[in-house]
């Protein structure tokens, strides 16, 4: 019998591992702050690369924990709760550090963080009403563009035919558009489900 409260399984271990990588990213970007005189320019670039590489590894674990959970049918309450929290901590902490480094616009960071707070609130409201809205494909595209754009901004001073910082900025702007678009789609789907639920309740009470 499947234990929905199990903690010690591969998907959950990957999620916990992803959380342990976040301090490394924050440390790497903290060292990269230009005002820091303790490290040389070369050392700061190395730490920026370490942060970008660590973020990429964390993003890959995000894919695989979901993959193994679905493939092995290991869907647990603990995993369902912790996985989205790990994702948000990973992205939000990285965005704040990039803002401190001056590599991303303040309004972009606010927009992306507010979007995550808004969607999280809607999901909590929906779960309280017993309503489930599947993850929208545009939300997945949003996540993918963030997972590409953020590490590129971490190594923004590297140029390979094109500035990686510029490329990262493009991906982040695309992510902003997808964030708003997917949030609107999610809101619409949730509204329609609420409306259908109320209609069914009135219909049943009428009988």
Residue extents of the structural domains in the chain: 1-102, 128-146+161-207
The answer, yes or no, to whether residue 199 has pLDDT greater than 90, is no
- Distance in angstroms (rounded) separating the CA atoms of residues 45 and 40: 9
Average pLDDT over residues 101-115: 93
Indicate the pTM of the whole model.
Answer: 0.84
CB 12 within 8 A of CB 76: yes
Instruction: Please name the helix (run of DSSP H) or strand (run of DSSP E) that holds residue 36, with its range, or none.
Output: none
CA dist 140 and 2 (Å) reads 28
**Helix (H), strand (E) at residue 198:** helix 164-205
Averaged over 164-172, what is the pLDDT?
94
As a whole number of angstroms, the distance between CA 104 and CA 120 comes to: 23
CA angle, residues 171, 63, 162, in degrees to nearest 5: 25
| pLDDT, mean over the chain | 84
| Token couple for 120 | 């999280």
pLDDT at site 1: 41
Percent of the chain with pLDDT over 90: 41
Residues 131 and 123 sit within 8 Å (Cβ to Cβ): no
Nearest-CA neighbor of 156 among 93, 111, 97, 108?
A: 97
Least confident piece of the model among 23-27, 74-78, 133-137, 169-173: 74-78
Q: Mean pLDDT: which of 120-124, 160-164, 183-187 is highest? A: 183-187
């Amino acid at each position: 019998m499947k234990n929905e409260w199990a903690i010690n399984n591969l998907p959950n271990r990957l999620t916990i591992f992803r959380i342990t990588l976040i301090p490394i990213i924050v440390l790497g970007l903290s060292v990269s702050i230009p005002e820091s005189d303790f490290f040389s320019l070369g050392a700061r670039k190395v730490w920026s690369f370490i942060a970008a590489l660590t973020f990429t590894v964390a993003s890959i674990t995000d894919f695989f924990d979901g993959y193994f959970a679905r493939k092995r049918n290991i869907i647990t309450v603990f995993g369902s709760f912790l996985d989205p929290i790990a994702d948000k901590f990973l992205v939000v902490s990285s965005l704040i550090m990039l803002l401190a480094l001056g590599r991303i616009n303040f309004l972009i960071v606010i927009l992306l963080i507010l979007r995550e707070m808004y969607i999280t609130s809607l999901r909590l409201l929906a779960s309280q009403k017993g309503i489930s809205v599947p993850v929208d494909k545009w939300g997945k595209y949003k996540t993918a563009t963030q997972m590409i754009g953020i590490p590129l901004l971490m190594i923004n001073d590297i140029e390979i035919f094109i500035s990686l910082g510029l490329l990262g900025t493009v991906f982040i702007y695309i992510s902003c558009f997808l964030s708003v678009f997917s949030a609107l789609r999610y809101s619409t789907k949730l509204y329609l489900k609420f409306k259908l639920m109320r209609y069914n309740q009135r219909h049943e009470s009428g009988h």
